[in-house]
Amino acid sequence: MRLTAGMCPALTQDVIEKLRECNIKNILDFMKTDPEVLAMKASISYRDLCSIRRVIIAHSAAFVVRGEDLLKEAITATKVIPTGTAELDRVLGGGVLTGEVVELCGGWGVGKSSLCVTLATHAALRLGLSVLYIDPLNSISALRFTPIIEKLSEDAGTVEEALSRIKVESPADVWGLLKALDLVQQPYLSFGRFNTGGCSRFNSNNPSGKIKLVILDSLASILTPLFIGSTKQELGMINQLAAALKSLACEQEVAIVVVNNVVQADYGKRRKRNDVYDEWKPALGRFWESVPHTRLFIQRLPNSIRQHTKKLPTSHAQNMQDSMTVNISVWKSTRLKRTVSMKAQNPEVNISRSSDEMRRVLVPCLLSVP
Amino acid sequence: MSKTPTTKPLLGGLGCHIPPADLIQLDPHLLPGGPQPGEVIELTGGSNCGKSSLAQHLIATALLPHTWRGIKTGGCGAVVMLVDCDLHFSILQLENRMQKRIKQCLRLGKDALKKRKLGQQAEENVIVDEEELRKLLHSDKGSIKNEIISLVKQCLQSLSYLRCTNSTQYAITLLSLEEYMMEQNGVSLLVIDSLSAYSWYDRVYRAKSWAKLKDYYNGIFTTVMTCIKKYSVVLIATKGILFSKKFLEDDYRDKSRLQTDLKEDGEMKDPEEDMEGVSERELFGNVWASNVTHRIILSLQHNPAGNVIGQNEDSFSERNDTSSVSNVTPGSKDTNANKSLNSTTSCSDRYLYAAEVTVNLNKSKLMYAIHEEGIRWQNK
């Protein structure tokens, strides 16, 4: 951000000295001043100043893209990644879209992580896509993936190949997370024995091995340790992270799925006037509310609680028989129609509503065996 | 192609200055008489209130032509520049909405033609050239569809898109507007979505205090305003709320409640606690605040569960029965042409939003819902 000699032929050390005398030390100060005024004040030629400005703009400002070019690019680049569950696909209007950030929020134990695992395996196995699974809590392992894959396909070689397409990262903090996100920018990734370029039929979707789906489970676990101390610091960090996620999704054409928790929306006597959430609202604060493109709220149906707490046998195969019914509603979306969020204390309301407002999704519930 | 009164800038880039198209037709409900060049419209509201949708709707209106194939499409035929900081913009969605709007206009035109044939009086002069319209309607569905697609593609040629992915890029882009305007030629509408996308980053990592942040923004917006006035551009900017507790009713309208609200918060430690008396309005500096001519506050008014959000002082809070609310055709204030719209859609299952417009101390309130083709204003 500092003005350095050599950035532009017109920007000599001499010129930099003159600018410093006029109190212009970095690029922003330079751009804020009118070149005509500056030319007179610092006795630098107007033409030189304009050419320096042009270099700065070319380097740091946004590129202009024509609407029609943007459209052409969007038509070819945007891909829909089906989630593997038909009902969820219907809620999302086909699946997760590349270039979008989808947030899954819900209470503890509703199945957000299970849903992420299903999503990742479906993408890796059925669609042949490379997946980056960011798991700061270190809560998943190959054990968690294998049962789903084995259920979907029988071939052991296929299982290994699919697992090789899922890259798991476990960053310990935000900066580790930002570094892990850099992996998405690599154009060609090969991990595992089965490199792309082979004649496997699964690779037709993704010939270069570039990551197409990023799953972050969960964001709250990375950011909550930062919440002590100054609130402003954490907001600055959330802002930076949000910008990084969204720009990554746009520029690298990946779909990003983020997991978040929910907190109580009611403050007792201080009900905010504009509050649109009845009982629960997404964690991470108000700034984060406007960040994702789509926000899905997952809620377990009351009548399935009994199933969930049932003592389960230890083998994986039998675990697969149990499934949990959840409701997934759209809390916010830039493109989907918003559905009403449900009040959890009235189970009758849940059941009596028509099915096009609430989607019942069957999620295979995996309890990992320690 | 079509007999539009405004010509597209054919000589763009050759240094000829094309006068920007006027935006009178931009939105007769929200901005009667259209915004004048140099005016600044600020759209503020909580999250998910339709700010970006409204901005996108206005972009679509600005890009569409005045007339097309004999029907009034209600657009301005203008050149638009969009600075996207929120990264929520979807060109596919814009294209889709524009196509649906044109189809809607075609439907209205068809109905009007039918009425004319039957000798009835056409309720509104939707039809500009009957012959052309008839010719279009007689062709088969496939070719009509292709015509619509190519119209939208042509309109999108007048859209310039700038994507800002970090705070520095955002600042430098805004400071280089002069160069962009010179290159683009004839821009009449500049849309920034949204201003507050990097505000927390700027506050925490650039400016060490709210006062310094104000200075920082003042520096940027001085340049922006000079540029806008010089090139006769209308600026529409969306702005999210940063301070949740004292927004809207508390802050914009009644400053005396500022102090009491600060003490009552029980949840996580608020950034407002050490705000040093900065209000939401002054956040972006006095250069921005003083240059805004139209301040529009958006909020959610009604959700389909039948709950009215917010106990507002107006009669809107008592209006639980939405069957009396009818749809209004975008771009026209006539209610007769809207009857066809009302028969096809019911609005009781839509989220209803309110837009409160303040221009020169005159306030007015409008309601709207978001449909597939964009925004539809509701009759009171």
Query: What ipTM goes with this model?
Result: 0.81
Query: What stretches of chain B adopt beta strand conformation (E)?
Result: 40-45, 67-68, 71-72, 79-84, 159-163, 187-193, 234-240, 294-302, 327-328, 352-359, 362-371, 374-378
pLDDT of residue B323: 38
pLDDT in tens, A180-205: 998 888 776 655 444 444 333 344 45
Q: Does A104 touch chain B (CB under 8 A)?
A: no
* Chain B: closest CA distance from residue A135 (Å): 25
CA nearest to B266 within chain A: A267
Asked whether residue B309 carries a pLDDT value surpassing 70, the answer given is: no
pLDDT of residue A216: 93
Please report which confidence band the pLDDT of residue A345 belongs to, taking 50, 70 and 90 as the band edges.
very low
* Highest averaged pLDDT of the listed ranges A28-37, B21-30, B162-171: B162-171
More confident call, A100 vs B380: A100
Asked whether residue A351 carries a pLDDT value surpassing 90, the answer given is: no
| pLDDT, mean of residues B374-379 | 82
pLDDT of residue B171: 94
Asked whether residue B324 carries a pLDDT value surpassing 70, the answer given is: no
pLDDT of residue B10: 43
Please report which confidence band the pLDDT of residue B118 belongs to, taking 50, 70 and 90 as the band edges.
confident
pTM for this structure? Answer: 0.82
Nearest CB among B86, B159, B175 relative to A67 is that of B159
Asked whether residue A72 carries a pLDDT value surpassing 70, the answer given is: yes
Distance CA B165, CA A252 (A): 13
Q: Does B52 touch chain A (CB under 8 A)?
A: yes
Q: Do A290 and B220 touch (CB under 8 A)?
A: no
Q: Do B203 and A232 touch (CB under 8 A)?
A: yes
| H runs (alpha helix) in chain A | 13-21, 27-32, 35-42, 46-60, 67-77, 86-91, 112-125, 142-152, 156-164, 174-181, 219-223, 231-252, 285-289, 305-308, 316-319, 347-352
pLDDT in tens, A324-335: 677 888 888 888
Q: Do B48 and A274 touch (CB under 8 A)?
A: no
* Chain A: closest CA distance from residue B67 (Å): 21
Chain B residue numbers with beta carbons less than 8 Å from the beta carbon of A240 are 201, 205
Per CATH, the architecture of B23-378 is what?
3-Layer(aba) Sandwich (3.40)
* Chain A: closest CA distance from residue B338 (Å): 23
pLDDT in tens, B207-255: 888 889 999 999 999 999 999 999 999 999 999 888 765 554 444 444 4
Q: Do A267 and B266 touch (CB under 8 A)?
A: yes
DSSP code, position A141? -
- List of residues 6+ apart from B282 with CB closer than 8 A: B214, B289
Asked whether residue B314 carries a pLDDT value surpassing 70, the answer given is: no
Q: From residue A209, how far is each of A162, A197, A247, A252, B356 by CA, in Å?
A: 12, 9, 20, 13, 50
Asked whether residue B86 carries a pLDDT value surpassing 70, the answer given is: yes
Distance CA B269, CA A231 (A): 7
pLDDT of residue A161: 80
Asked whether residue B275 carries a pLDDT value surpassing 90, the answer given is: no
Q: Does A271 touch chain B (CB under 8 A)?
A: no
pLDDT in tens, A215-243: 998 888 888 877 777 778 888 899 999 99
CB count, 10 Å around CB of B224? 23
pLDDT of residue B234: 93
pLDDT of residue B123: 62
Chain B residue numbers with beta carbons less than 8 Å from the beta carbon of A68 are 153, 156-157
More confident call, B342 vs A352: B342
Amino acid letter at B311? Q
pLDDT of residue B2: 44
- List of residues 6+ apart from B207 with CB closer than 8 A: B213, B215, B216
